[in-house]
Amino acid sequence: MTPENSSRSLISMVRRVVPDLEHASALLENPGDVLVARPERDRRLRSSRAPGPGAAASRPTPSSLDALHAGRRALQKVLRAGENAQLDDAELIGLEAVVVTLGRPAILVQDDHFFPAPHPWEVLEDHRAAIEGILPSVGRIEVSGHPALDWIGTGFLVDTDAVLTNKHVVREFVDWRSGGSWTIDPTMRVRIDFAEEIGTPYTREFPVTSIIGIHSQLDLALLRVAANGASGRLPPPLPLARSSAKLTAGRQVYVVGYPAADSRRNDEGDIQRIFSDIFNVKRLQPGELRSVAPNRDEVAHDCSTLGGNSGSCLVDLESQEVIGVHYRGRYLEANWAVATHLVIEQIFAATRGRR
């Protein structure tokens, strides 16, 4: 793709996901207010607790503010010239920042509450109670003893002691000496933590005790998790959609997961600026379904995911049912999720057949 085509593609995306560019430009007159907005309850919590991991990074970095200032300049050019607007490199990065901050935000979560939803996502506030019922059941899959990683991806509860994630996540801790059986490498300790959130000074860790099974074709895996841990009992399982009725293009959805700095991107510095250099913590990432595969086994969505979101739940905003499991994506281009309605009976048969 030529730089000109790339610019037009990004401008087209911004006009689609941020319908009111004038309002967005006005909001970004003081971008720091957009980046640091958080619920009043969180201000009170932070004043009474020691800061947890990531608390220092919760303030906007100079580079993230610069990106949004450039984004505002870009919006003003687009308002004047449309898709023919001539944008410099900083303004292109700024438009990406506008997408992730406003159009397809990656909203931070703390103590199972998401930070205020930006325009045009005020609709999330109408569903706050239901969404915040989903958040506690999504965790970060972590591992000790891995030669390169300390955490691998995202998973979520689908039964009282079973977590659904991607097969490619599980591959990282499989014992390949076991003759092809899917068992955990005994030199590694695998766990899932449901409280890896910005500024949260505690954990909610539960050991992953076994691999229940993997799907022969789809990028799905089930893990057995200890129902009790040092942090208490597991959160409740999430409801899975039993039909494809909600798989229609344009439907509002969201992902809950743990976006990580994506080293596969050509310029990781851009990602750091756009995400305010805050990674590896739980985020709420709204968007829309873009398309559905002809056999309805996967869907494309446009939530702002990064590496680390593998295994995230894709939730229908209206019904609050999990309709997919995110498994791959290209930043600001497209993302794909396995549709859960096709495998729900297999999931429940596996979880209930091995106690």
And the tokens for 235? 């959160």
The Cα 340–Cα 165 span in angstroms is: 12
SS3 13: helix
Amino acid at 159: D
Domain residue ranges in the chain: 3-104, 141-233
Q: How far is 187 from 8, CA to CA, in rounded Å?
A: 50
Tens-digit pLDDT string for the chain (355 aa)? 445 657 899 999 999 999 999 999 999 998 888 776 554 444 333 333 333 333 334 456 778 899 999 999 999 999 999 999 999 999 999 999 999 999 999 999 999 999 999 989 999 999 999 999 999 999 999 999 999 999 999 999 999 999 999 999 999 999 988 776 889 999 999 999 999 999 888 899 999 999 999 998 999 999 999 987 777 899 999 999 999 999 999 999 999 999 998 655 546 777 888 888 899 999 999 999 999 998 888 999 999 999 999 999 999 999 999 999 999 998 877 899 999 998 888 887 887 755 4
With vertex at residue 339, the alpha carbon angle to CA 335 and CA 345, rounded to the nearest 5 degrees, is 155
* pLDDT for residue 218: 93
Helix axes 3-17, 89-98, angle to 10 degrees: 30
**Closest alpha carbon to 193 in 231, 241, 147, 223:** 231
**Whole-number Cα distances in Å, 151 to 140, 192, 211:** 7, 9, 17
- Cα separation of 270 and 122, whole Å? 27
φ, ψ (nearest 5 deg) of residue 35: -75, -30
pLDDT value at position 267? 62
Residue 291 near residue 232, CB atoms below 8 Å:
no
Quick one: DSSP state of residue 79? H
Residue 104 and residue 210: Cα distance in Å, rounded? 36
Q: What is each CA distance from 262 to 35, 89, 266, 304, 309, in whole angstroms? A: 21, 20, 9, 12, 10
Q: Cα-atom radius of gyration of the chain, to the nearest Å?
A: 20
Which superfamily is assigned to 141-233 in CATH?
Answer: Trypsin-like serine proteases (2.40.10.10)
Distance of alpha carbon 161 from alpha carbon 89, whole angstroms: 48
The pLDDT, as a whole number, for residue 51 is 34
Q: How far apart are CA 341 and CA 47, in angstroms?
A: 44
Q: Which phi-psi region, left, alpha or beta, contains residue 311 (left: φ > 0; alpha: ψ -120 to 50)? A: left
Q: Are 325 and 313 in contact (CB under 8 A)?
A: yes
What is the rounded distance in angstroms from the CA atom of residue 207 to the CA atom of residue 191?
A: 4
Q: Are 80 and 22 in contact (CB under 8 A)?
A: no
241 bridge partner residues:
none
Q: Which helix (H) or strand (E) holds 344?
A: helix 344-353
User: 37, 115 in Cβ contact below 8 A?
Assistant: yes
Q: How far apart are CA 258 and CA 283, in angstroms?
A: 6
